[in-house]
Amino acid sequence: MARISDIIEKFLKELIEDSNNKSIEIGRNELAKYFDCSPSQINYVLTTRFDYAQGYYIESQRGGGGYIKIERLAFDDEDGVYNILIKEIGDKISQSQANRLISSLLEREILSERESNIMKAAIDNSALVSPVNIRDQLRASILKNMLAILLR
């Protein structure tokens, strides 16, 4: 059975895909009522599934019922994608953040299924035989180098 977070994510992505300008504006409280969950659950989905690294821009206004504008960013050129990703990855990245970023690139067909799987395997904690305190730094370095080759 799908978790409520997955269901909300799928719903929002379908709305965005169906919109003419690849953006939607929706009330946070109305969305929470629709899914019979708390507004904080909506916030959780937005912050974990619709961030800049995954190719989305969120504009949120609280008060007066609050609204959320979600815009899917256009990755028109590969150099632009690479620069966005390098900025987002920074000096370190967790395994879950890296996997979400790779999944987003797969979803946008920037990466193939095979490339995605290879990248996820290369940055997996079990593949990074190193002290725990530097794994995220090592993972960021590996990810940036793989993206440099794939996107250039």
Q: Are residues 14 and 55 in the same domain?
A: yes
Q: Are residues 84 and 46 in the same domain?
A: no
Last residue of a domain, one of 46, 72, 98: 72
Mean pLDDT along residues 136-152: 86
In angstroms, the CA 27 to CA 120 distance is 35
Judged by DSSP in three states, 119 sits in helix
Q: What's the pLDDT score for residue 129?
A: 86
Please state the pTM of the whole predicted model. Answer: 0.60
Q: What are phi and psi of 77, to 5 degrees?
A: -125, 150
Is residue 56 over pLDDT 90?
no
Domain containing residue 57: CATH number: 3.30.56.130
Q: Are residues 56 and 89 in the same domain?
A: no
Q: What's the pLDDT score for residue 63?
A: 65
**Model confidence pLDDT, tens digit, residues 10-53:** 999 999 989 988 889 988 889 999 999 988 898 889 888 887 66
Q: Which domain holds residue 95?
A: 78-151
**Model confidence pLDDT, tens digit, residues 86-132:** 777 888 999 998 998 899 889 888 899 999 999 999 999 999 988 88
- Residue 74 burial (CB count, 10 A): 10
Q: What's the pLDDT score for residue 20?
A: 87
Is residue 1 over pLDDT 60?
no
Last residue of a domain, one of 72, 96, 122: 72
Last residue of a domain, one of 72, 106, 124: 72
In angstroms, the CA 84 to CA 87 distance is 5
Looking at per-residue pLDDT, the higher value among 19 and 59 belongs to 19
Q: Which helix (H) or strand (E) holds 21?
A: none
- Domains in the chain, number: 2
Domain containing residue 118: CATH number: 1.10.1200.150
